[in-house]
């Protein structure tokens, strides 16, 4: 049976799932969700995902959403031994911490700062921007002496965080002024399988959306 992924190309969480699939050499049956026309609010979609968010994955009768849950599920089912989400408790705990840091702090603060500007016409909030800078400083610290965000090897933590951080390129946030982040960013871009197709194409779509919305 195919693995269906309901997604939006520009979405950072969707791009993180696509990066994971590439790293696992998995072929996903991509189903575009047109948010503008309310595809996510249709009864058949809400039946799959009552929160009507993207991405949503459907695999062998299981419907699951929240990108980081999807990513770890895919590795647990299809990528044992890949190193992307190792089973050793200490290694996994560190990866989990980074995943939760992304959803609860890094990406959350970016969304809180930037999306009201893009989708609501709100002015930039200096205090919210400062919180993003604090989160980036934490990420920079995590990377002290580390090739990747959770140790010496590429993991799902890198894939979710680079999907988030790359989105900052559409904003006025200069993450490359943090030396460890800049080094890590270039490393992941050159080592994550299928990076250009899985992330860069969607990032370009996100930048295009931002530009069109801010011109209104």
Q: 122: phi > 0 → left, psi -120 to 50 → alpha, else beta; which? A: beta
Q: Are 149 and 157 in contact (CB under 8 A)?
A: yes
**DSSP per-residue letters across 95-150:** HHHHHHHIIIIIHHHHHHHHHHHHHH-PPP-HHHHHHHHHHHHHHHHHTTT-SBTT
Question: Residue 176, Cβ neighbours under 10 Å: how many?
Answer: 14
Q: How far apart are CA 147 and CA 129, in angstroms?
A: 27
Residue with structure tokens 């702090």? 105
Q: Are 210 and 203 in contact (CB under 8 A)?
A: no
Catalytic residue among 11, 164, 167, 171: 11
Element of type H or E holding 94: helix 89-101
Half-sphere exposure of 196 (CA within 13 A, CB side): 1
- Known catalytic residue at 212: no
Q: How far apart are CA 148 and CA 85, in angstroms?
A: 13
Catalytic residues: 11
């Amino acid at each position: 049976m195919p693995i269906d992924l309901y997604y939006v190309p520009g979405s950072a969480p969707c791009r993180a799932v696509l990066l994971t699939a590439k790293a696992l050499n998995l072929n996903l049956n991509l189903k575009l969700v047109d948010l503008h026309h309310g595809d996510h609010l249709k009864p058949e979609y809400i039946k799959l995902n009552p929160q009507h968010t993207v991405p949503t994955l459907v695999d062998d009768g299981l419907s699951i959403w929240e990108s980081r849950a999807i990513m770890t599920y895919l590795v647990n089912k299809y990528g044992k031994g890949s190193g992307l989400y190792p089973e050793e408790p200490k290694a996994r705990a560190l990866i989990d911490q980074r995943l939760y840091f992304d959803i609860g702090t890094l990406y959350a603060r970016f969304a809180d700062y930037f999306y009201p500007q893009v989708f609501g016409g709100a002015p930039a909030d200096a205090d919210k921007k400062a919180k993003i800078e604090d989160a980036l400083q934490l990420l920079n610290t995590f990377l002290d002496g580390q090739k990747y965000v959770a140790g010496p090897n590429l993991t799902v933590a890198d894939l979710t965080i680079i999907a988030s951080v790359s989105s900052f390129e559409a904003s006025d946030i200069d993450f490359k002024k943090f030396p460890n982040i800049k080094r890590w960013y270039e490393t992941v871009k050159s080592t994550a399988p299928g990076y250009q197709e899985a992330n860069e194409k969607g990032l370009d779509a996100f930048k295009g959306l931002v530009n069109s919305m801010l011109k209104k």
